[in-house]
Structure 1
Amino acid sequence: MSQHLLDPSWLARLERMQLATRKVVSGNQAGGRRARQLGSSMEFADYRAYVPGDDLRQLDWNAYARSGKLFLKKYLDETELHVTIYIDCSRSMGYGEPGKMHRAIQVAAALGYLSLCNLDHVSVYAFDSGITASIQGLQGKKQAHRLLGFLSSLKEGGTGDLHSAMRQPGAVRGKAGISIVLSDFLFESGYAGGIAYLQAARQEVTLVQVLSQEELQPAYQGELRLIDSETSQAKEVSVTGLLIEEYRKSLSDFQEELTSFAYGRGISFVAIEAEQVLESIVFQVFRQAGMIR
């Protein structure tokens, strides 16, 4: 089940990483993040792999003697982060080969898996004009099979509407945390309202725009009948070089607008192509963007 979502050969690299957050988290359960206030209990919670820069005093030398690998003990004074991933499953996300939705699901699998390995609380919501499926409150590496099973079951839905989906009861967590939205953001009703609703719920928002190479550099020409995948509306179009240039400019303007909107609100924004290799997206694009570390 997990083989087509994540390559087992680089899962160990994912386990050594974590989502970057600008906020210091707090809570009362075991996790992989440093809390605002240290807990009074030094009860052992779990292990995690050593990462350069970690406190060497926390190394478990007995574990090293057994395995030859460096591990740190994690205690109850390290606290969890709530991570919520929203996947756009509207019909437009099925475009491309591989489809944008398939790549978004793989990205969600990678981000969810590394979060589980850090004992973060992970929830995933699929949406079109509403929440179509969800799995909530997963914690710990042992929950990875549930995460991957849920992601593997997702199907394309109908017309996308981010604002409507985010306002559905239960769509946004009450606790502060990180919310990652994976979408092409090509919503007829726009994206600003839905994102603002997430921020109002104390979410540190990251937008990951997924577009296909054919959307970025279309190779169409001649007389065509184009059909909207979500509304089924058709339009006869004479595709010329001039029209393609106008399309590219409109798309560029849209991406610049989305980028400016995000940065203006203190939101992280990353653009990826569906055809990019997943390993490159995670370990190069996301690391360079500061999403993970």
Structure 2
Amino acid sequence: MTQSNFLLPNEWASKIRRLSLNTATKIRGHHKGSHRSQRFGASLDFSDFREYHPGDDVRQLDWNVFARTEKYFIKRFLDEQEMRVHILLDTTKSMGDEAKWLFARQLATALGLTVLNRDDRLSFSYVSNKPTPPFRRKGSTYQKAYEKTIADLREPTSSESFAENAIRTLPKDMTILLIISDALEPLEEWSAFLSKVPRFAGDVRLIQVQSLDEKLPTYSGDVRLIDVETSASVNVSMSQNVLRSYEEKQQEHQLQLEALCRKYGVQHIIVQVADGIQHALFNQFIKAKWLQ
């Protein structure tokens, strides 16, 4: 079994091919694609008629209408444009739990394959300690190359702040921006980041990956907790009061993050690692109308 197959089983290929990203925002691509644009162009989908004006393409004149009205009208057709989708993956150390990291990469792989399969333009990036060229491709012929790009990512070791540095990895003029992160960094950093992303994409979505231990720790007794990103440590006696205090702060963080998403027009979904990738793709995303 290859590493890419380990991320996403081969039998999922046919299921993913039936999915496509759904968006109500304006298609921003400048090249031909499979999505209906609000602009008029030269597809086979008829839109309406418009009176002829000097300079219009005479090949679009409708002579049947002229025969009935003795007026010149041209036929207008809906243009079909590509979507530009960018997937941004959090590779900071807090994503390093084995199950969480596999889950996040499976999400990135599956979503990217739905984009490429629809002949849309996909780009992918992550925050790294050293400059890394982004993946930018269009079309189903690059599905294997994209799978390998994600599968080749080692365990997350970035010591940089994701929310503070992610903006510099983004391309401009995207249709959809998909952010995959645990969103555990300070809310001030997330506020600054989310306030800027709408200028890059008309449709921004935050997929928050959450493990059971993050939601409700199962530790007991006297433990030493070490922050995997800052290496700061603290000795804690895991009493009911401590667990209750943690749960309250975790809920407060969550509520404020959701408020920030609403403020800046960012769609937000929490996906639980324990629920599995299939539940996220074929239940949560379809129910939220992110996929169809």
- Fold shared by both chains (TM-score > 0.5): yes
Q: Which moved more, 1:115-124 or 1:172-181?
A: 172-181
Answer yes or no: is the 8 Å Cα contact 2:194–2:261 preserved in 1: no
**Structure 1 CA distance, aligned partners of 2:106 and 2:130?**
19
**SS of the residue 2:6 aligns to:** coil
Aligned partner of 2:290 in structure 1 is 291
Change in Cα spacing, 1:163 to 1:26, as seen in structure 2 (3 Å) is closer
Aligned partner of 2:103 in structure 1 is 103
Aligned partner of 2:276 in structure 1 is 277
Aligned partner of 2:113 in structure 1 is 113
Aligned partner of 2:184 in structure 1 is 186
Aligned partner of 2:6 in structure 1 is 4
Question: Could you tell me which amino acid in structure 2 is paired with residue 221 of structure 1?
Answer: S
Q: Does 1:135 align with 2:138?
A: no
**Structure 1 CA distance, aligned partners of 2:267 and 2:235?**
38
**Structure 2 CA distance, aligned partners of 1:37 and 1:4?**
42
Aligned 1:169-184 pairs, distance under 5 A: 171-184=169-182
Which protein shows a greater Rg? 2
Aligned partner of 1:48 in structure 2 is none
- Cα RMSD of the aligned pairs, angstroms, is 2.1
**Structure 2 CA distance, aligned partners of 1:152 and 1:243?**
38
Change in Cα spacing, 1:27 to 1:89, as seen in structure 2 (3 Å) is closer
Answer yes or no: is the 8 Å Cα contact 1:41–1:76 preserved in 2: yes
Answer yes or no: is the 8 Å Cα contact 2:182–2:209 preserved in 1: yes
Change in Cα spacing, 1:80 to 1:162, as seen in structure 2 (3 Å) is same
Q: Which runs of 4+ in 1 moved over 6 A?
A: none
**Aligned-pair CA distance for 1:161:** 1.7
Aligned 1:139-178 pairs, distance under 5 A: 139-155=138-154, 156-168=156-168, 171-178=169-176
Change in Cα spacing, 1:265 to 1:90, as seen in structure 2 (3 Å) is same
**Aligned-pair CA distance for 1:160:** 4.3
Percent sequence identity is 25
Aligned partner of 2:70 in structure 1 is none
Aligned partner of 1:260 in structure 2 is 259
Flag the structure with higher helix content: 2
**Structure 2 CA distance, aligned partners of 1:158 and 1:220?**
26
**Structure 1 CA distance, aligned partners of 2:30 and 2:207?**
30
**Structure 1 CA distance, aligned partners of 2:131 and 2:218?**
34
Listed one character per residue, the Cα deviations across residues 35-68 of structure 1 (whole Å, up to 9, x for unaligned) are 22243265xxxxxxxxxxxxxxxxxxxxxxxxxx
Aligned partner of 2:228 in structure 1 is 229
Q: Does 1:238 align with 2:237?
A: yes
**Equivalenced residues, count:** 256
Question: Could you tell me which amino acid in structure 1 is paired with residue 181 of structure 2?
Answer: S
Listed one character per residue, the Cα deviations across residues 156-203 of structure 1 (whole Å, up to 9, x for unaligned) are 1223423432343xx222213211111111114621111222112244
Answer yes or no: is the 8 Å Cα contact 1:126–1:132 preserved in 2: no
Question: Could you tell me which amino acid in structure 1 is paired with residue 14 of structure 2?
Answer: A
**SS of the residue 1:218 aligns to:** coil
Q: Which moved more, 1:101-110 or 1:29-38?
A: 29-38
**Aligned-pair CA distance for 1:265:** 2.2
**SS of the residue 2:157 aligns to:** coil
**Structure 1 CA distance, aligned partners of 2:17 and 2:107?**
15
Answer yes or no: is the 8 Å Cα contact 1:126–1:134 preserved in 2: no
Change in Cα spacing, 1:190 to 1:39, as seen in structure 2 (3 Å) is same
Question: Could you tell me which amino acid in structure 2 is paired with residue 85 of structure 1?
Answer: I
TM-score normalized with structure 2 length: 0.81
